[in-house]
Structure 1
Amino acid sequence: MLCFASSCAVKHQPKNNEYAFAYFKDNGQDGLHLAFSEDGYNWKALKNDQSFLKPTVSKDKLMRDPCIIRGADNQFHMVWTVSWQDKGIGYASSPDLIHWSEQEFLPVMAKEEGARNCWAPEITYDDKTKTYMIYWSTTITGKFTNTATSAESGYNHRLYYISTKDFKTYTDTKLLYDPGFNVIDATIVPDGNRFVLFMKDETREPAQKNLKIAFSKNLTGSFTKASAKITGKYWAEGPTTLKIGKQWVVYFDKYNEHKYGAITSTDLVNWTDISDKISLPKGIRHGTVFTVSKLELDKLKGVK
């Protein structure tokens, strides 16, 4: 159930940590941008909103949809979309978000002749298995024909994944989730003894273009049937989430309106729109929220 209210969640400052937002601008050609927040609602760009890392891999050399997590090794690990039509994704790591490893191209769909793209990769860590799962959306020509359409260049995505323990060796690519519709922009977060999958229903005819959620006891699935939409009468994509106290906050790109929105919930069922209660850097596009220490943030603030 959607609830569009004028008041929003109680603000709460994280203990010993600040919030960081990794995002891109324009087409992703200039690379990684970072913003910070003390309360999870009001965000300021770092480095005068200049790039912290310029893309170097793939034919298109883009850095769209950056996803950063802090690993069990206390390193920051990032994946991103390198191209509109490539069969791989980008990967790099950093101890401080300032100095980065050499960028790598991971050819995750190279064995699929009909693969058309690899969009919006993300990483989730499974503390139970001590494994990282990297996942993204791809259209493979000739598959899932029950939802095929000629609209929007015929893209018809499903979610795929690989796993790794060290970002050096990886499992073979496998199908992660087929919700029965064209799905992109997945982000998966732990919630007690389960995992919550936020996704975009990319269906064009009839238009959905909204966010939905699913659940699983295991990170690699199987996930439940997708929920009813949790966003309103606008097109939404690129969800990222954080928890402030008992409040879930989901940020997303209202891309047709060229601005960001946010919704909040305490039970992942009833959602309140708080888009009028947030502020973000101008031009921000599809990113991810994570936490940094106050010391790490102070160092980032010193980068000119």
Structure 2
Amino acid sequence: MKTKQFVTIFFLFFQVFGVLSLNAQQPDPPGQVKEGEQPVNEAYLFAHMTHQDYGELYYSVSLDGLHWHALNDRKRVFDDYHGHPDICKGHDGRYYIAGNTGDGSPDINFWVSDDLINWEKYSTLTPDLKSTPDYSYALQRIGAPKIYFDQDSKQYVVTWHTPHKEGGETYWASQRTLYVLSKDLKTFSDHPTRLFEWDMGTIDVFIRKIGNDYYAVIKDETYPTLYWTTGKTIRISKAPSLLGPYSEPGPSISPNFREAPMLVPSPNNKIWYLYYEQYPGVSYGLSIADNMNGPWYQASGYTFFSDWDKYSLPSSVRHGCMITISKEEYDRLVNHFGIVTE
């Protein structure tokens, strides 16, 4: 082929390829099912608060784990609840939610529901923070209690964060994650215990067993600096058993100044979707991986530009939890509360 002909063909190829590239839609997040296929995870519930009504209980739902719609005309779904919502399915197949009336309250409250619609008070835990081994100097503060039922040991682990210093960022950097155990959420272990052997500020910690390992998803509560670049980001620790020992946290999964992480498996159950809030109520981010050890990448969303967003949430949503539910449960929630689809 003559040089002039080659240059002409190459130039035409470049023009066509360049136009196609500029107009091409970026790929959607992995983990979805093809049309006609049955999803492993049929639907999702996001129990959360809102920016305007902090600490109260609201619901949003999704069929794909990516696009979420508010329920109940964006109104509360249960007036008695207060806290940072965290729900798990428990030892008897019912749903349990943990909360508290404020970080300064001495109590952690639990409610129970058969259908995620009607909740009734179940029990109250008043942990003796001063009895925590090697942490008797803890302040009387209980932040964002969370609840996880471990199928292997048939027990609940209730986690929260408690500080030991006052004042601004010193207060936040002094947060440590504590836990108690319970078989039934009626009786609890004698005293709180620190979850991690290593020493750094952590909040918003939740535990999941995935495969043969346990993972603690945390917010690194040290303030970010040039010498602590992971500060205020979401990180993950790993352990061979429920109570550890947990490894030192891995690299940042989110940008700085993110918190309140939530983790759900994709509809085909092969991908992990990890959400986190850019506070104070600015937006939500989403990181995606095909296994908990990473690598993770960040999807584009919450910009309210439909041709750019790969995921979407109702405006003003704040801290909460996401869980998988059945299509039957999804339909029941939508039929009872009504769904906001715009």
Please list, as runs of the form range in 1=range in 2, the aligned pairs for 1:279-294 lying within 5 A after superposition.
279-294=312-327
User: Is the helix fraction higher in 1 or 2?
Assistant: 2
Question: 2 CA distance for matches of 1:238 and 1:288?
Answer: 8
2:243 counterpart of 1:212: no
Note closer, same or farther for the CA distance 1:102–1:181 as it changes in structure 2 (3 Å cut): same
- Choose the corresponding residue for 2:171, options 127, 148, 154: 154
Quote the Cα distance in structure 1 between the aligned partners of 2:222 and 2:282: 20
Identify the match of residue 70 of structure 2 among 36, 45, 64: 45
Cα separation, partners in 2 of 1:153 and 1:16, compared to 1, 3 Å: closer
Matches within 5 A, 1:161-240: 161-172=179-190, 173-204=192-223, 206=225, 208-232=231-255, 234-240=256-262
Find the aligned partners of 1:275 and 1:22 in 2 and give their Cα distance.
22
Comparing both structures, which one devotes a greater share of its residues to strand?
1
Change (3 A) 1:231 1:92: same
TM-score normalised by the chain length of structure 2:
0.77
Distance 1:279 1:205, change over 3 A: closer
Please tell me whether residue 98 in structure 1 is matched to residue 93 in structure 2.
Answer: no
| Distance in 2 separating the partners of 1:23 and 1:103 | 20
> Contact 2:89/2:149 (CA < 8 Å) preserved in 1?
no
Say what the alpha-carbon RMSD is for the aligned residues.
Answer: 2.2
Alpha-carbon distance in 1 for matches of 2:274, 2:185: 28
The residue aligned with 1:128 is: 152
User: How high is the TM-score relative to the length of structure 1?
Assistant: 0.86
Offset at residue 256 of structure 1 (A): 4.4
Give the CA deviation at 1:110: 5.1
Kept in 2: contact 1:265–1:271 (CA 8 A): yes
Alignment of 1:271-286 (within 5 A): 271-276=296-301, 277-286=310-319
Residue 84 of structure 1: how far off its partner (Å): 2.9
Structure 2: gaps of 5 or more residues? 1-25, 132-136, 302-309, 338-342
Give the conservation status (yes or no) of the 8 Å contact 1:125–1:133.
yes
Query: How many equivalent residue pairs?
Result: 285
C-alpha deviation, 1:103, in angstroms: 5.8
Compared with structure 1, are the counterparts of its residues 85 and 130 closer, same or farther at alpha carbon in structure 2 (3 Å cutoff)? same
Q: Looking at CA atoms only, which structure, 1 or 2, has the larger radius of gyration?
A: 2
Distance in 2 between residues matched to 1:279 and 1:179, nearest whole Å: 36
Aligned equivalent of 2:263: 241
Using the TM superposition, name which of 238-247 and 80-89 deviates more: 80-89
Tell me the secondary structure at the aligned position of residue 303 of structure 1: helix
Q: Distance in 1 between matches of 2:96 and 2:56?
A: 15
Provide Cα deviations, 1:1-47, integer angstroms capped at 9, x if missing partner: xxxxx543242473373111111113755721111111000001111
Greater than 6 Å deviation, 4+ residue runs: none
Distance 1:264 1:81 in 2: 31
Structure 1: which 5+ runs fail to align? 1-5, 57-62, 142-148
Give the counterpart letter for 1:279 in structure 2: S
